[in-house]
Amino acid sequence: MTEERKQEIITSLQGAYDTFQPTDEEPELTMFGLISRYNATSQNTELIGGDWVIQNCPEPLCSLPS
């Protein structure tokens, strides 16, 4: 993966994090919620998941609960 692509993914994930609004059904954003949103809105051709986020993303993304 190129560094450019990596940053593109991180930006997209950060956007999903920043726009998250807690609800009764989803009171906090989990790693599942983050990746699910990314899969729904982006072309996840690399099939990244929670492990990739933990290894490559800054806080708070890398510390989201599972």
Partner 1 sequence: MGGKYLVDQYGDPITSENPLPVSATLTGSLPAGSNVVGKVNKNARYILTTILNAGTVAAGQNTGNISIGADGTESEVWLYVNIDKQPWSLSARTMNGAALTTCLFPEYNSHANTYTQSQQPATALILGSSPVNQGLTAPTTISQAKDMILPIDATEYCRVINNHATDSATITIKALRVWR
CB 26 within 8 A of CB 33: yes
| Residue 66 lies near partner 1 (rule: CB under 8 A) | yes
- Tell me which residue has tokens 């290894």: 55
CB of 41 to partner 1, least distance (A): 12
Instruction: Determine if the peptide bond prior to 60 is cis (ω within 30°).
Output: yes
Ranges within 26-65 binding partner 1 (CB under 8 A): 26, 30-36, 39-40, 44, 47-51, 53-55, 65
Residues 6+ apart with CB under 8 A from 51: none
CB of 14 to partner 1, least distance (A): 16
Interface with partner 1 (CB under 8 A): 25-26, 30-36, 39-40, 44, 47-51, 53-55, 65-66
